[in-house]
């Protein structure tokens, strides 16, 4: 990995850690701030919606600004947000701090993906994006378990102080290693917004929403599934989640390589396999070893679609790559929120934990159908040479 890509990945590691670690600290946060665990759980929803709302706003504000300075500014916002989380005296203050932190998330990954793609030869762009997103996936292997353990041992605030330190290191790396002369589009913002009306862009974002929803409709409730259906201990659940993190890390890199070969073929194939994985999970869930194996493959396929979806959006929105790329991060997080809601609604309607993967299967089928329709649109329309090659 080149130093500029490593710098981008370090920041994504910090952002990924702060996004997901809160789920492991909900009891500690709830007890300290005097709220219920469901109320504390809204901190996850608040962050996701902060990404959805913040991505277009921050991207619009930074439109045309130097890319290096913009990325450094976004990581500085990330540091400030986590600092506010660490000192939050009340639940409302912590919620506001989480939203502030989330505002940098979508814009960072959106702009960072475009910058990463511009640092390498054209036939390696999706791999470069995957390298940047690798920090996010590795956070699920190292950052989240370590942050959870730290917060449980020394208080949840200590985790946010640690993330502040990570943010400082990442910002320093961006200052030292990111090239200053990064091409930046200085086009009219309204012209960029018009590009987003492109059907291929909208379909790619719709696939991002559906794909992310398929993941979170089940993953949000993975702990009770593993405890109550599979029958494993809390300690064993932690290791299964680490295995899931390994899967998404590998899947992210594999997806990047496959996307440099064929974007739409990769997406349709991965979503098709995800449909089968959810079906397999229904039957494997009661058996510890098969369940763990399915969870690993599930993680691999779930993140194999991330680089090609981001690549599809950037390729389809050539006149507005930064805005479209950032909005796609909002689409992923909208899918997170919708998926968690869909899974919860299914459970409230009386569906048992062991049947929840059927919900994920339906949403994965929706994502696959969207990709098939988008690919068919390429055949009927007049895509650019680069799009036709994909």
Which are the contacts of 266, defined by CB distance < 8 A and separation ≥ 6?
255, 258, 259, 304, 305, 308
**Token digits for 268?**
């349709």
* End-to-end alpha carbon distance in the chain: 25
Q: Taking Cα atoms as reference points, which of 300, 18, 369 lies closest to residue 164?
A: 18
Q: Is 185 left (phi over 0), alpha (psi -120 to 50) or beta?
A: beta
DSSP string, 254-295: HHHHHHTT-HHHHHHHHHHHHHHHHHHHHHHTTSHHHHHHHH
> Do 178 and 192 belong together in one domain?
no
> Do 72 and 202 belong together in one domain?
no
Q: Provide the number of structural domains found in the chain.
A: 2
Give the integer Cα–Cα distance in Å for 325 and 314.
6
Over residues 133-163, the pLDDT tens digits come to 888 888 888 888 888 889 888 999 999 999 9
Give the integer Cα–Cα distance in Å for 63 and 303.
29
| Torsion angle (degrees, nearest 10) of CA 127, 132, 135, 137 | -50
Provide the pLDDT for residue 321.
Answer: 72
> Do 214 and 156 belong together in one domain?
no
> Do 65 and 94 belong together in one domain?
yes
Provide the pLDDT for residue 371.
Answer: 95
Where is the domain boundary, 169, 184, 199? Answer: 184
| Torsion angle (degrees, nearest 10) of CA 376, 381, 386, 388 | 50
Provide the pLDDT for residue 319.
Answer: 66
CA 206 to chain centre: 15
Provide the pLDDT for residue 4.
Answer: 93
> Do 168 and 290 belong together in one domain?
no
Give the integer Cα–Cα distance in Å for 347 and 29.
25
Provide the pLDDT for residue 8.
Answer: 95
Where is the domain boundary, 143, 168, 184? Answer: 184
Q: Taking Cα atoms as reference points, which of 106, 55, 41, 130 lies closest to residue 343?
A: 41
> Do 215 and 162 belong together in one domain?
no
> Do 169 and 201 belong together in one domain?
no
**CB contact at 8 A, 1 and 253:** no
Low-confidence ranges of the chain (pLDDT < 50): 381-390
Helix (H, G, I), strand (E, B) or coil at 311: helix
> Do 88 and 122 belong together in one domain?
yes
Give the integer Cα–Cα distance in Å for 201 and 272.
21
- Which CATH number does the domain housing residue 64 bear? 1.20.1250.20
Where is the domain boundary, 184, 212, 237? Answer: 184
> Do 8 and 19 belong together in one domain?
yes
**CB contact at 8 A, 277 and 297:** yes
> Do 130 and 241 belong together in one domain?
no
Rg (CA), the chain: 20
* Alpha helices (H) along 155-262: 156-177, 189-195, 199-219, 222-224, 234-259
Q: Taking Cα atoms as reference points, which of 227, 236, 245, 244 lies closest to residue 354?
A: 227
> Do 179 and 254 belong together in one domain?
no
**CB contact at 8 A, 17 and 143:** yes
Count the Cβ atoms, other than its own, within 10 Å of residue 72: 18
> Do 66 and 135 belong together in one domain?
yes
Which are the contacts of 310, defined by CB distance < 8 A and separation ≥ 6?
113, 126, 129, 133, 325, 328
CA separation, residue 139 to residues 18, 115, 198, 329, 344 (Å):
9, 21, 34, 17, 26
Provide the pLDDT for residue 246.
Answer: 92
**Residue 100: domain span:** 1-184
Give helix 263-284 / helix 357-380 axis angle, nearest 10°.
160
């Amino acid at each position: 990995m080149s130093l500029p890509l490593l710098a981008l990945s370090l920041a994504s590691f910090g952002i990924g850690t702060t996004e997901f670690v809160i789920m492991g600290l909900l009891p500690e946060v709830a007890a300290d701030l005097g709220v219920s665990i469901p109320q504390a759980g809204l901190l996850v929803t608040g962050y996701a919606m902060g990404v959805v709302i913040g991505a277009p706003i921050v991207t619009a504000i930074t439109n045309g600004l130097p890319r290096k300075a913009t990325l450094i500014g976004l990581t500085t916002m990330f540091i400030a947000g986590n600092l506010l989380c660490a000192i939050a005296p009340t639940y409302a203050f912590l919620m506001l701090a989480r939203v502030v932190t989330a505002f940098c998330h979508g814009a960072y990954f959106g702009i960072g993906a475009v910058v990463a793609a511009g640092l390498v030869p054209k036939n390696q762009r999706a791999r470069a994006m995957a390298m940047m997103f690798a920090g996010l996936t590795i956070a699920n292997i190292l950052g989240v378990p370590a942050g959870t353990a730290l917060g449980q041992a020394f208080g949840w605030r200590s985790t946010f102080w640690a993330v502040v330190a990570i943010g400082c290191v990442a910002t320093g790396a961006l200052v030292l290693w990111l090239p200053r002369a990064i091409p930046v589009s200085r086009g009219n913002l309204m012209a960029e917004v018009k590009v987003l009306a492109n059907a291929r862009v909208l379909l790619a974002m719709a696939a991002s929403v559906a794909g992310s929803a398929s993941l979170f409709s089940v993953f949000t409730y993975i702990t009770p599934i593993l405890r109550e259906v599979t029958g494993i201990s809390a300690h064993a659940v932690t290791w299964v989640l680490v295995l899931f993190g390994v899967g998404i890390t590998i899947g992210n890199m594999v997806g990047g390589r496959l996307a440099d070969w064929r974007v739409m073929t990769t997406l349709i194939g991965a979503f098709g396999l995800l449909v089968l994985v959810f079906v397999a999970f229904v039957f494997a869930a009661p058996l510890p070893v098969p369940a763990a194996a399915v969870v690993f493959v599930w993680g691999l396929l779930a993140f194999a679609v991330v680089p090609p979806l981001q690549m599809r959006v950037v390729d389809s929105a050539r006149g507005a790559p930064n805005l479209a790329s950032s909005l796609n991060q909002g689409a992923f997080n909208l899918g997170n929120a919708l998926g968690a809601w869909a899974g919860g609604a299914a459970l409230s309607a009386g569906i048992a934990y062991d049947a929840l993967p059927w919900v994920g299967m339906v949403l994965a089928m929706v994502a696959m159908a969207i990709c098939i329709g988008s690919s068919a649109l390429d055949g009927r329309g007049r895509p650019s040479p680069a799009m036709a090659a994909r």
